Amino acid sequence: MTTPTSTFVTYQAVGNREDLSDIIYRIDPVDTPFMSGVDKEKATAVNHEWQTQALAAPDNTNAQLEGDDPNTNATTPTVRLGNQCQISYKVARVSGTQQAVDHAGRDNELAYQEMLKGLELKRDLETILCGTNQAKIIGNTTTPRRTASALSWIVSNTSKGASGADPAASDGTGTRTDGTQVAFTEARLKTVLSSIWINGGKPGTILTGAFNKQVFSTFTGRSTAIEEAKSKKIVASVDAYESDFGKLKVVASRFQRPRDVLVLEMDKWAVAYLNGRNMISIPLAKTGDSERRQILAEYALVARNEKASGGVFDNTAS
């Protein structure tokens, strides 16, 4: 059967309006569990500093004479730490013509592009803070400042592969030496949790990549899937882990390195933003028939006390 002769059909028409949906579909992830979980504070200088305090070790010989005239005990001074504020930005630029024409899915092209650049910048910060093996750099007129990432601070409670090494000091000046990748196991995790507890930490969050999140779901207590007959669903994942030292949330993180599993006490970390420099939009000078906006953040990672956290490093990721 064919279309009757002389029937005017859409294949011939030139005046039909386009059918373009007003919905724009985006699936790129913007969830940032590290940045969302840690505190925020204010920085007032490009070298943001803070102090940590340790107590003297317990003395099991502390027995004193009756009526003794005591001597003054040695004082343990604070430790002064700091991190550099790093500048990160994205720039949106839209021509005058594009701003003037009708758009599908958005009313203002420049505002839409600003929003997208803000989301991209947020993803950059998450990657820099917890997914980059980066030491702090003071910088100069030709070298940008860099803030030391979480991997540069964690030294006290770690499990590593052969030839892997922690930074030389917990001051943000060094980077990790990656070792031979080995399987992520519950035994390795327990070693790190025990070490954190001995050092006084109370971690509540475990961040993993996709592969090791699935490995985590095979740990003791979840070696086989559970079928819930009433709800007609199979539960094969672990979102919380009851350790000997407390309960921890297990969160999949898209922006950290797949080889790392971070065990964090979130309130012992913060992101310090320089005054008035927290994800701001700055109109740039108009130099032609276009408009520009700079989305900018100036920030430093604050490791309030790295002994409260740890990491299982050098894990296989496939």
The pLDDT tens digits for 102-117 are 888 888 999 999 999 9
According to DSSP, the β-strands at 310-312 and 158-159 are: parallel
Segment 159-167 mean pLDDT: 97
* pLDDT of amino acid 252: 94
Residue-wise pLDDT for 68-96, tens only, equals 988 888 889 999 999 999 999 999 999 99
Q: Rounded to the nearest 5 degrees, what angle is found at the Cα of 75, between the Cα atoms of 192 and 201?
A: 20
CB 205 within 8 A of CB 37: yes
Whether 232 has a pLDDT exceeding 60, the answer reads no
- Give the chain's count of helices (H) and strands (E): 6, 15
Its pTM stands at: 0.89
pLDDT band at residue 228 under the 50/70/90 scheme: low
- Residue 116: strand, helix, or coil: helix
Q: Which residues contact 136 (CB under 8 A, 6 or more apart)?
A: 83, 84, 145, 146, 147, 148, 152, 172, 173
Q: What percent of the chain has pLDDT over 90?
A: 75
Report whether pLDDT(292) > 60: yes
Q: How far is CA 68 from CA 63, 64, 65, 71, in A?
A: 11, 7, 5, 9
What is the three-class DSSP state of 274?
strand
- How far is 291 from 289, CA to CA, in rounded Å? 7
Quick check: 227 pLDDT over 90?
A: no
Please answer whether residues 177 and 88 qualify as being in contact, where contact means their C-beta atoms are separated by less than 8 angstroms: no
Report the relative pairing of strands 47-52 and 79-84 from DSSP bridges: antiparallel
Mean pLDDT of the chain: 91
Q: 243 or 234: which carries more pLDDT confidence?
A: 243
Q: Which residue in 181, 183, 179, 185 sits closest to 166, CA to CA?
A: 179
Q: Per-residue pLDDT averaged across 233-240, rounded?
A: 64
Each residue of 272-289: pLDDT tens digit?
Answer: 999 999 999 999 999 999
pLDDT at 314 over 70: yes
Task: Say whether pLDDT at 224 is over 50.
Answer: no
Please give the residue that has the higher pLDDT: either 177 or 26: 177
Asked if the model's pLDDT at residue 234 lies above 90, the reply is no
Q: What pLDDT was estimated at residue 231?
A: 58
